[in-house]
Amino acid sequence: MNTKKISLLLTSIVMATAALAQGDPKLTELYTPVPKVVTAGKVTSDAPSDAIILFDGKNLDEWVSTEDTSKAAAWTVGKNILTVKKGTGNIQTKKLFTNYQLHLEWRIPSNITGEGQARGNSGVFLASTGKGDAGYEMQILDCYNNKTYTNGQTASIYKQSVPLANACKKPGEWQTYDVIWTAPTFNEDGTVKSTAKVTALHNGVLVQNNFELKGETAYIGAPQYKKIGPSAVKLQAHGDKSEPISFRNIWIREL
């Protein structure tokens, strides 16, 4: 390699390092490969006999505010549906879980506006590790004819794993997530003993196949692990300007 090429390479490295130091989220965005579009069938799922019902359409007794877990969750419940209430923050389960099977149904409003990440943005955190968006997130978003970075689209493990397919239905239609979550384990000194793993179906289509997470999902920078025990499941109230999304029929089976 000649001196000019070496100089260009070093310049690129310096620029990338500087961008990361300044907190540039684009450094962790992927745009290829683009998952193929799959038309999903009709999928519904009633809770099995051993499931813990997290939301049955009646109340939020199983949920609290993420910002202050001593306070009740403040989202809106009506007509057997749970809807994000802007300005109230994320909500999380009162109970803590380790390994589990989770089912939830969600709906993007039919009058959704915006594009990219600002189009019905939410998420389910499979293990919440603190306030805000700390934890392990599986993305919820409208990606029906809506492009964004592929490791941040619907059913991605945010900024870590591109989904195997795009199974999104049109805004206004109910959609399902079915998730098998294996929590990470840690040695006494806090080092990782075994990584977190996730298998997930979106509208009955396999989108994550025993994916091994690299740590907590992060908007900026590389993912990292920190020692956790049993954790809450969290639903995100994203701060974009689009209409808030809704949920129903949420249940979990401990494994």
- Are 42 and 149 within one domain? yes
Mean pLDDT for the chain overall: 90
What pLDDT, on the 0 to 100 scale, is given for residue 79?
95
| Together in a domain, 171 and 87 | yes
> How many domains does the chain divide into?
2
Domain limits for position 24:
1-29
The pLDDT tens digits of the residues spanning 110-149 come to 999 999 998 989 999 999 998 989 999 999 999 999 999 9
Both 15 and 126 in one domain: the answer is: no
Q: Are residues 24 and 35 in the same domain?
A: no
Query: Do residue 88 and residue 213 come from a single domain?
Result: yes
Give the H/E segment covering residue 93.
strand 91-93
1 pLDDT more than 70: no
Three-state secondary-structure class, residue 13: helix
**Tokens found for residue 8:** 């260009």
Same domain? For 194 and 136 the reply is yes
CB-based contact 155:207 (threshold 8 Å): yes
Domain co-membership, 104 together with 64? yes
93-109 burial code (b ≥16 CB/10 A, e <16) = beeebbebbbbbbbbbb
Q: Do 2 and 48 lie in a common domain? A: no
User: What is the model's pTM?
Assistant: 0.86
Kindly report, residue by residue over 16-27, the tens digit of the pLDDT.
Answer: 555 555 689 989
CATH of the domain at 217: 2.60.120.560
What are φ and ψ of residue 60, in 5° steps?
A: -115, 35
Give the span between the Cα atoms of 43 and 110, in whole angstroms. Answer: 19
Q: How many residues does the chain have?
A: 255
**Tens of pLDDT, residues 202-235:** 999 999 999 999 999 999 999 999 999 999 999 9
160, 151 contact by CB (below 8 A)? yes
Q: Are residues 158 and 191 in the same domain?
A: yes
Same domain for 22 and 36: no
Residues 214 and 242 in one domain: yes
Helix (H, G, I), strand (E, B) or coil at 220: coil
Task: For residues 4 and 80, state if they share a domain.
Answer: no
